[in-house]
A and B are shown apart, each in its own frame.
Chain A
Amino acid sequence: MPFEVIEHTADTGIRVWAPDLPSLFSEAARGMLSQITELARVEPVRERTITIEGMDETDLLINTLRELLYMFNGEELLAAALEVEMTNGSAAKERIGYEKYDPRKHKLHMDIKAVTYAGGDIRKIPGGFEITVIFDI
């Protein structure tokens, strides 16, 4: 698995790694979503394209996760997968597959309330990139 759950005294987080930035975004999305629900049971029956803005790649990634979290917390839509179509350092165009949250089908694990900057920036590692993301729960 290209992400792992990390422990934090008051909250929880994930460490994600991937060979390139677009896949780092996808894996971070998977990492967060699998904390919220059993991701295997979420099907991408619908699709939307979004444009995210940010001051750098880290901000773009955090803002992407914020968007996915709002889809669930505000619109009751569970994302199944996210794909980055384009990123230029201050904007990213992304495609999200999702379905409506159905309490009979989707079991909820954790009430993530916010995505924070507390895990630090995206880091270059041998063979790719990694980031730690801490969630407020």
Chain B
Amino acid sequence: MELIQIDPYRWEIKKTGAMHVPARIYSSTALIDAVKQEEAYKQLVNVAQLPGIISVALAMPDVHWGYGFPIGGVAAFDLDTGIISPGGVGYDINCGVRLASTKLTLKDVQDNLETLAVTMQRNIPSGVGQKGATPLTNSELKKVMKQGSKWAIDKGYGDLSDALFTEEGGCMPNADPEAVSQRAMERGRPQLGTLGSGNHFIEIGLVEEIFDQATADAFNLSEGLVTIMIHTGSRGLGHQVCDDFLAAMTRKQSKDFKLPDRQLACALFRSPEGEHYFNAMACAANFAWANRQVLMHIARDVILNVFHISPRELGMHLVYDVCHNIAKTEYHIINGERKLVCVHRKGATRSFAPGNTQLNDRYKPFGQPVLIPGDMGTASYVLAGTETAMKETFGSTCHGAGRVLSRKAAVKASKGRRLREELESKGIFVRATGKLTMAEEMSEAYKDVTEVVGAAHGSGISRKVAKLRPIAVVKG
């Protein structure tokens, strides 16, 4: 198994042995060594062996070792002969990112950034075992799972237009609450409107640099203006859905296919198990959209209160909301023909090109906004989808920086350092709920997001639009 460099941003593994298709990794000379060391590419080779995989198994520039599928993995499957895999979506179903722009500038906020971080942390339930204000009833939760963003908007969390600025309109229509276990529902009921722990966050940022003015204008992003970014997903509900179906498919697996890794457990897309998983996954995805919709609204209220301003003065607009752990049926051109296929994106973001019918009229001339969070001390990026992504990666690109240090190693490496003060001296006010979160999430624990974004831009699977710099961060 050899990684062959094709050009400055592409590496390939030839189809050998049990592989049905070759594998391709989007990377750079600076990033590829870590890929080789970590053996994430071996997981990509496993993915290439799954039934019904189309064209090529793909890894995005932030690829790293995951369960079964690598994180940063993308694969499309034939609907009739192919599979759907919970491991190809990930535990945190529809983990994703939402970005809003405002009319505020640094001058408006700089004297109160610490208060903002503290108040935000107090008002947004985060950290281990935290719950939302009131647990949902089962019937209300079922509505959330059916309706996604719309449920939250109808309840007054956000604007009517928000759904237009959300991938899939904030709702996968195949959601079927009957496919979701009682256990998954129990875990979900108290967690709507909670951030969670670990790498989930709310980040107040500034637009620091614009790479493409016309697109940035369409996305409502101007240099020097304050942004709000939220990174979270479907919480315990998504985890339980994933786990329930992994367990069930593992049991059935031994009879159906021979797989190189238990964690790749899957079912034919057109089978009762495949269909149930797809419909339960959609429920968790919709829960995640409702969750981010609610959280963004709480964050907005906190900002209004801390700075004593009106919604008009804040001038908040949802830029976009993307999911980066999902399986979807989408039309793509396969061997010259337009075909509906099941695309798995695990730690990968949709990157639809200009003109795509899935985009709203405002974004159609520019391509879909792609939101790439970095670590809390560096930067985040806004990119746009491209035709190259449509041709090569089933309309997909990277999703973030990716860890390089384990949490334990990060804690060890941070010994003796005053991380909070270090960040404050750089003008970033961070509040974390977990005792060790600050150390676990330090910049050095992550790959350089600029390098990852550079490879995504350089290879053409998305293009840079704007760079954001964090100024206040709340971590779980």
Cβ-closest chain B residue relative to A137: B198
Main secondary structure of the interface of A (DSSP, over half): mixed
Contact yes or no, B403 A113, CB < 8 A:
no
Question: With a CB–CB cut-off of 8 A, which chain B residues contact A116?
Answer: 67, 263
Question: With a CB–CB cut-off of 8 A, which chain A residues contact B38?
Answer: 9
Contact yes or no, B187 A74, CB < 8 A:
yes
Q: Distance (Å) between the CB of B437 and the closest chain A CB?
A: 10
Question: With a CB–CB cut-off of 8 A, which chain A residues contact B197?
Answer: 111
A39-59 to B contact mask, C-beta < 8 Å, 1/0: 000000000000001110011
Contact yes or no, A10 B403, CB < 8 A:
yes
Q: Determine if B381 is an interface residue (Cβ-Cβ < 8 Å).
A: no
Question: With a CB–CB cut-off of 8 A, which chain B residues contact A54?
Answer: 251
Alpha-carbon gap, A116 to B129, bound state (A): 20
Question: With a CB–CB cut-off of 8 A, which chain B residues contact A9?
Answer: 38, 64-65, 403-406
Q: Determine if B371 is an interface residue (Cβ-Cβ < 8 Å).
A: no
Q: Determine if A125 is an interface residue (Cβ-Cβ < 8 Å).
A: no
Question: With a CB–CB cut-off of 8 A, which chain B residues contact A113?
Answer: 91-92, 236, 239
Question: With a CB–CB cut-off of 8 A, which chain A residues contact B92?
Answer: 113
Cβ-closest chain B residue relative to A59: B250
User: Which single member of B67, B186, B253, B261 contacts A136 (CB below 8 Å)?
Assistant: B67
Contact yes or no, B250 A7, CB < 8 A:
no
- The tally of residues in A whose CB lies under 8 Å from a CB in B reads 31
Cβ-closest chain B residue relative to A121: B262
Cβ-closest chain A residue relative to B253: A55
Contact yes or no, B408 A7, CB < 8 A:
yes
Cβ-closest chain A residue relative to B71: A10
A120-137 to B contact mask, C-beta < 8 Å, 1/0: 000000000000001011
Q: Determine if A86 is an interface residue (Cβ-Cβ < 8 Å).
A: no
Query: Given contacts A54-B251, A74-B186, A111-B198, is CB(A117)–CB(B405) below 8 Å?
Result: no
Alpha-carbon gap, A113 to B243, bound state (A): 10
Interface centre among A7, A12, A53, A103 (most CB of B within 10 A): A7
B406-439 to A contact mask, C-beta < 8 Å, 1/0: 1111000000000000000000000000100000
- The tally of residues in B whose CB lies under 8 Å from a CB in A reads 40
Cβ-closest chain A residue relative to B90: A136
Contact yes or no, A73 B67, CB < 8 A:
no
Query: Given contacts A9-B406, A55-B254, is CB(A136)–CB(B239) below 8 Å?
Result: yes
Contact yes or no, B243 A66, CB < 8 A:
yes
Question: With a CB–CB cut-off of 8 A, which chain B residues contact A103?
Answer: 129
User: Which single member of B247, B253, B403, B408 contacts A12 (CB below 8 Å)?
Assistant: B408
Contact yes or no, A114 B128, CB < 8 A:
no
Contact yes or no, B406 A7, CB < 8 A:
yes
Question: With a CB–CB cut-off of 8 A, which chain A residues contact B265?
Answer: 117
Alpha-carbon gap, A75 to B189, bound state (A): 12
Q: Determine if B242 is an interface residue (Cβ-Cβ < 8 Å).
A: yes
Contact yes or no, A108 B129, CB < 8 A:
yes
Interface centre among A54, A113, A118 (most CB of B within 10 A): A113
Q: Distance (Å) between the CB of B438 and the closest chain A CB?
A: 15
Alpha-carbon gap, A62 to B307, bound state (A): 50
Query: Given contacts A9-B38, A117-B263, is CB(A73)–CB(B187) below 8 Å?
Result: yes
Those of B226-253 within 8 Å (CB) of chain A: 236, 239-240, 242-243, 246-247, 250-251, 253
Cβ-closest chain A residue relative to B347: A10
Alpha-carbon gap, A111 to B406, bound state (A): 15
Q: Determine if A3 is an interface residue (Cβ-Cβ < 8 Å).
A: no
Those of B107-139 within 8 Å (CB) of chain A: 128-129
Query: Given contacts A59-B250, A118-B67, A137-B198, is CB(A111)–CB(B405) below 8 Å?
Result: no
Contact yes or no, A12 B243, CB < 8 A:
no
Contact yes or no, B239 A59, CB < 8 A:
no
Q: Determine if B183 is an interface residue (Cβ-Cβ < 8 Å).
A: yes
Contact yes or no, B247 A66, CB < 8 A:
yes
Alpha-carbon gap, A63 to B128, bound state (A): 23
Those of A49-96 within 8 Å (CB) of chain B: 53-55, 58-59, 63, 66, 70, 73-75
Question: With a CB–CB cut-off of 8 A, which chain B residues contact A114?
Answer: 91, 239, 242-243
Alpha-carbon gap, A134 to B68, bound state (A): 12
Question: With a CB–CB cut-off of 8 A, which chain B residues contact A118?
Answer: 67-68, 261, 263
User: Which single member of B128, B236, B404 contacts A108 (CB below 8 Å)?
Assistant: B128
Those of B52-78 within 8 Å (CB) of chain A: 64-68, 71
Contact yes or no, B251 A73, CB < 8 A:
no
Contact yes or no, A74 B67, CB < 8 A:
no
Alpha-carbon gap, A114 to B183, bound state (A): 13
Q: Distance (Å) between the CB of A6 and the closest chain B CB?
A: 9
Those of B167-206 within 8 Å (CB) of chain A: 183, 186-187, 196-198
- List 18 interface pairs A-B (beta carbons < 8 Å), by A numbering: A8-B406, A10-B64, A10-B403, A12-B408, A66-B243, A74-B186, A74-B240, A75-B186, A111-B129, A111-B434, A113-B91, A113-B239, A114-B239, A115-B243, A116-B263, A117-B261, A117-B262, A118-B263
7 additional A-B pairs beyond A9-B64, A118-B67, beta carbons within 8 Å, are A5-B408, A9-B65, A9-B404, A9-B406, A73-B236, A114-B243, A137-B407
Per CB-CB distance, the 7 closest pairs between chain A and chain B, nearest first, are A117-B262, A111-B128, A7-B406, A74-B186, A111-B197, A117-B263, A113-B239
A residues at B contact (CB < 8 Å): 5, 7-12, 53-55, 58-59, 63, 66, 70, 73-75, 103, 108, 110-111, 113-118, 134, 136-137
